[in-house]
Structure 1
């Protein structure tokens, strides 16, 4: 099945995709993760590699037609860390792209998203929402809404694109309808946020201040004595697993403000900057609730 409207942009994507400006994956030294279909548990999608833009084992997923698919939830195929969350349209035609590093040299690509629900550096679980099906691509070009999905290891494109295996079963190239058994976390909207500020900012960071954002979340300021850097993250406590407006910022006195803002499932940030012996202004926002500090913590 050919996805309507995709052929017009195929030559463009084919000519640009080899030049993708992304850091190459590490050597595939680890076993292949137990990848799952990148859609919520129980959904059935039609996968197709026959697009003219494909030269290897890429898959385009559609379900009910371009208009109906637009905005459908896309989830992580396996646990990992978000390596890229950016609009890559001008670089390679992928439009809104999320790339997840699963360790051992394995990565997955989720392209043409309408929105991205996670930021770079986010640790995600299998089944966690990372974005929505979209049609973003090269400026001035057009695509029908679909999800472009790839599994990659190291090496040169397209040889590094691997055949997809979902729940231990190889995908039936060139096309097949598959039902998701991706029934892990991330889809809910309630419960406890699995991410602490220390986990988000990383090893060596300690919370030195925080500010509640009503019942919706909390903004945190952390400091790392070893490297003299501050870190700010805004952690949600409501609408968990559902993309909603969240932001975090950090401004070292005399320097430009660093901000991370978007529709995220669990938190915004981390934003970091060198702040030893400098005053900092920091804050965050969840929905309409905002916290802005004065310049403080000047030690």
Structure 2
């Protein structure tokens, strides 16, 4: 029964049966890492929490002149209906994925930056929002 125990309670005389489930399975798990989502060679430069107690986290990754941003839902929040997004600004170019009720993550939002323009990354999780300070150079 997928790690769930079923409890049944019968009331005599009324003919009503109540059934409740008690969860024994582990909370949802995040099967992805930011590096898997962005691709080979990308490494996390920074990350910031979104929400309370690890509900989501936005990551900025770099691979030479390429940048990538991903917002991942935290383990126990995987699959919930809260909308998330990821955004990346390099110079005058803005790229955004979401907000949408993605099960695992928003992104990968990628942009090349061979001339070293300022980079601003961000993400949202429901009403929580993070926007970085510009990283230039």
Structure 1 partner of 2:35: 198
Structure 2 partner of 1:21: none
Structure 1 partner of 2:84: 246
SS in structure 1 at match of 2:35: helix
Distance in 1 (alpha carbons) for counterparts of 2:26 and 2:101? 14
Distance in 1 (alpha carbons) for counterparts of 2:59 and 2:38? 10
The TM-score normalised by the length of structure 1 is: 0.34
SS in structure 2 at match of 1:241: coil
In the alignment, is the contact (CA less than 8 A) between 1:189 and 1:239 conserved in 2? no
Structure 1 partner of 2:104: 266
- Cα drift, residue 241 of structure 1: 2.3
Between the two structures, name the one with larger relative contact order (CA 8 Å, sep ≥ 6).
2
Runs of 5+ unmatched residues, structure 1: 1-40, 42-187
In the alignment, is the contact (CA less than 8 A) between 2:28 and 2:79 conserved in 1? no
- Cα drift, residue 224 of structure 1: 0.7
CA RMSD of aligned residues (A): 1.9
Distance in 2 (alpha carbons) for counterparts of 1:243 and 1:189? 19
Runs of 5+ unmatched residues, structure 2: 3-24
- Cα drift, residue 264 of structure 1: 0.4
In the alignment, is the contact (CA less than 8 A) between 1:189 and 1:241 conserved in 2? no
Structure 2 partner of 1:293: 132
Cα deviation digits, residues 86-108 of structure 1 (max 9, x gap): xxxxxxxxxxxxxxxxxxxxxxx
Alignment of 1:216 with 2:34, yes or no, is no
In the alignment, is the contact (CA less than 8 A) between 1:253 and 1:295 conserved in 2? no
- Cα drift, residue 189 of structure 1: 9.2
The ranges of structure 1 where at least 4 consecutive aligned residues each deviate by more than 3 angstroms after the TM superposition are none
Query: 1:274–1:189: structure 2 CA closer, same or farther, 3 Å change rule?
Result: farther
Distance in 2 (alpha carbons) for counterparts of 1:283 and 1:271? 10
Cα deviation digits, residues 216-249 of structure 1 (max 9, x gap): 1110000112xx1100000110421234200000
Alignment of 1:207 with 2:44, yes or no, is yes
In the alignment, is the contact (CA less than 8 A) between 2:118 and 2:134 conserved in 1? yes
- Cα drift, residue 288 of structure 1: 1.2
The TM-score normalised by the length of structure 2 is: 0.73
Alignment of 1:229 with 2:66, yes or no, is yes
The structure where strand makes up a greater share of residues is 2
Distance in 1 (alpha carbons) for counterparts of 2:81 and 2:96? 18
How many residues are aligned here?
109
Distance in 2 (alpha carbons) for counterparts of 1:205 and 1:280? 16
- Cα drift, residue 279 of structure 1: 1.0
